[in-house]
Structure 1
């Protein structure tokens, strides 16, 4: 029950409308007057009043069997103040804090205020012998109610609502003993607000008209104050409605007419038709959705799976991200269901010892569930219930096993996914398993603190003790639990290990750092390198461990070997364009034996299937393969997926260049519309479509040929797209590549290969110097192109976007034209769409200017700009995250290209559909952005009638409120909240953590500012600054400067308006990196009473979370009506200060050489690793 909710309560995480009947009427909850009343069949009653007062009635059998704030019910008041640890206290404040999770700060009344609130005009009315309550107070002791009233009035500084709540609580208690105090309310003193079609009655008797017996309030026939329905209306779910608008009841829950809801495990969608009639129809969640409760509502929501990893010697990373190592060689439980779930499963893995080593590695993995035992061994050999099976294989409708690149992969329809190969194991589960798992992968509770949970239910600290507790009984496997201590490593070898393993911090792996932090993998790499005595092959295996984790996170690093020690030089040859061979293009395939190292793309919603004979669906697909008629081919099964879903397979890398002919056979037979077969060439980290066919081509195999002219190593991607119905079985067979031109090309093939130029070929006719990037998107998207490998695209649009409360209402250029945006309603959390510019052959300083719009409540939505050079090297040069307000913002980005270059705009879909990010009016200018004029005009939207704007004089900051502060002398009248786990720090110069925080204050460049030090807290910790109280309750404008620079995920800054002593409302916030600069913020405040301001800094996912504020001031009036002057600092000093950070980093690097003579190799390695980890 929530005080602010009077018409619904939350039951097991789901909001239920009142009145409510649970467990066959054993528990009922309804609204009676101003109270929520819970009653049970064992005579427990709870009355929760709108005033916040709680009354609990328990039957006599619970005497001396309860504890808490209400005492122990042993009929002895002397021992009621007993705290949880058994001690008896006298101070009620100590008693309350012992029952409270977080202490509260209390306001204290002055003597004058106490005298005022004790008068009969306020709390004294309760104890007055001549007042309205004299009859009741002569029977009931009103002293406790008087003290509570005084406490609330002092805490809220005399809030009238607190007085009304106190009187209401005493009046309700009087009613309980049969003494009714009538007419203590009136239209100006404590009035009651009733809902539509109802009115207040201080003494209502008789039972109200209801749509159903379940709508009854539970009390009638006596005099009580309540809202009653107007004539012609009746109660339905606590509201007054007409008879034809009566709602429905289902499973003790009330639904409004035409309201829809899910039932069971989301297998039925039902709608209330009115007057108790409910219509249900079968439904199910999509393949990428899970049935769960979110925000109190049962429904189908996008799945966000978590991954547990086991790799190396071996190392484990739990579902909640806890990393540890264990060297046992037994059979261990990796993950199992330890709570109530619809499907119970257990995953175990055998570890085997390594030759001449005390370490181990994964040997095989087993999945057990009801009636099915699947074992995956080395070389992707799969056994089911004791017999070996050929892949792909299906087991009923719930489990399928198939080859996916280097893994044997198990997919299920109950939220579990498993991949095993090359001694690496990845286990993925979705939200339905939160808090019900155990084993070496931890508990998936959202916290690492309980990951080391043993089968006995104990949480231990030692990884070896934890891991050996999950050893299974396996008489066929001789083993030991290994040593609890890692093998010793010589300091010189360890130093070399850190140097080589720190390759993971370099640019070759940079694209994945955001998604898979490399620090854990560097540590495990060092361990494996030491154990292998510096073996290069083991080093490359450790780097591959990180690359594999990136691929599971859907980040692909195809060229990482070229930039590491693992790079293998190609064999020398005299022929610059050799004929392709099995060594250079090892992917010609007839699919009769296997998939010839073609890999399924893991991020797809379904996969290609290797098959022999007819496909399962009728009237679609081939009857046999193309090669012999009795062999195997690859196809997509349209029966198991949805319209528009795609499946892709990618070839191994081919190192031959020059003209070549790609040949293949395809079969497209079926009645579905929009089924597709596409081929792409993937070169220089870009994919370009080279061939395509659509819809039914007849029940025959056809040959396709494509001439390609790659200039670099490349791969081929084959994409099948499911059409409008299951008759969409697209097939391929006999893929090969030959040197030279194709023997014969169809007209369609010729058109595709000649009309679509290779993306790496620049257009030499591009105008100079703008390089064809300038675009206002009015006519088209100019020379910008969509990236075909993205899961969704940017949209050219005019007017408001379809999703409410997000996106712009018009373009920036004219207010009636077009712009580009990403539609958050068509994608999933984390999906990205990219716009690629034409190539610019002008490698000198450039300024990219554009306008962007980021408005919406979605968490982690974002916009990034990348500079693409050397064909495939993309560097992020600008980024913005989360809501930036419902307006267009100007951005200017300095580009420093070395060679010909392109620009990428990347839009990222956040946690909800309110993620519509837009761009408009893109232009490129030669030279630095600082050379451009600053007088950029706002959008020129014509007005139908001139509107005069009256401006106020420049106001002075409200120094009387004590809020204005530049922090140069002290923190003025601001105070730290004592209940926080860490505090804001007053500081000057750079913050201690590298690559985060400002290099100087905003005011002068040499003064002080306030910041939160991310190195002193953990993820999610907050620190709050509280202002002095301001007794000026009228519109105010809060102005301040903030600095948010760092790579930490979810770091943030929020501003709260605090009123009534304890009511805090968030009025402004910013999240994540905003660049290494100070930003101005202005926030409109609309206080009703005396108020305070809170600045809350939030520590993100890493130590690079230094959020800073400076130059805070408060001004009377709305921000839009005030003309501000730049009181603090100037642009030159700010620009100079922003450069200090980079200069400091350079100086830090140059100081390494000076320190080398003073520190040992181990110390140098440790310092280097700490610096790289922070970076």
Structure 2
């Protein structure tokens, strides 16, 4: 208990409860940080106004004072004015004075760009207000020894005449180029390794040995399971799956599968029959979205977005809020989830706090008959609804999964796609057209509201482009574990290619926190393997180890029951508890078999207090 300090004196335990100072903000604006006792304000109160977390503003008392709200605390700093001119004019309500004209080399100029002689790494522009706006020159990272670097006279950035490839332990001259893979090539540019990737359309088959697709002769048809299938031909894979080959003039061939359900055998019967198959959408990393139809979408927006919703009858709605990773405003992860179902509004955040219709839920599990059941098992929060729509949220690793039954097929919209078994059209916009890029698609599903004015659209960004060749290579090497024998038993049921690509992207973006981002993607891939029926024991003491509090009786289980046994339900039949469970298993800290959870620890069920 973080709010108690205890000491053992002569065999007796004496505890003192900490006192928390009163907060000025309402209860619904107070949050708890993991491992801390006292709550803190999620918002800040200053100059008679309420400011949101990480919001910045200019003090109305002093235009040179810029303030920010962080962790409920207001911090302010003064703006430093640099006005490179002799004659200035003060502007009411503005911090820095402006020039009557920008002075450069004893001359007055207007709308000019200049580089100061005393600082070649600064570029200054005289704007319409006759004020110099100066910004530092950004130098590219160098992949050459320090001893080889030099700065030519009259320039800012150091260069080298060669690049060092540490992975291959050799030097290459500036201008030398080479291929890293079929789709990626690199060159040495004055000491910097610059890599470019040929873009390939993921909707179509890739010709073997090449990066980009080519149109084929329509008479060739499709290839399925090693056999050539004629154009327009239909065939059965099993009782639940029908396939058809599409190939036409000027088009790329592809085979479309119509899946009516999942084959299942009823006890006592011989032949399988089709049962409705649910579909799932996953949001993970910084962030990536795998749609209901299996397409991977990469979108790093930092606003509030519609993840998925019933766009035909408005039966349910799920929205996500993304926030920045560290100080990089171009990269984000899922931080908060909002769900609306049966006229109830549910919000869960990164600390597993649950809000129901604006009021915080003090304890879990929560049951609202017959609509909603909410519980937490290990590191996963589970929400089950009467519609068959189910949500699981791992706040520690920003991993969100939404599962919907087949009754919602072709009725959904949002970042998770339309659930029609065709990944080719998952980038469908609000106006029913297909987006040209993941960025355009993601921005289109921004939730309209007051925050729209202060939340800009995301822009294309690849974090691997702005780092050194050595770091990019290290990211590739770290993520190769997904393609290794460690996950080999899962490769046949869940393709690792999309997760490897997402892993490299995330590790490049994480900077000094690479292990966290690596483990985030590995856990996401392992979770999809568990959902497909393959349990991979992939963690070790050197790879994403999880330490459970053994002093409280917990043990780590890669595939533990999502139906948590507690003193409150220990006398209920297992079938009653499992009615609300829908995941095959979850990974995390669990009580061992025969033990139940009570007051934050594992105890023998016989030791449960009488209620």
Using the size of structure 1 for normalisation, the TM-score is 0.26
Using the size of structure 2 for normalisation, the TM-score is 0.48
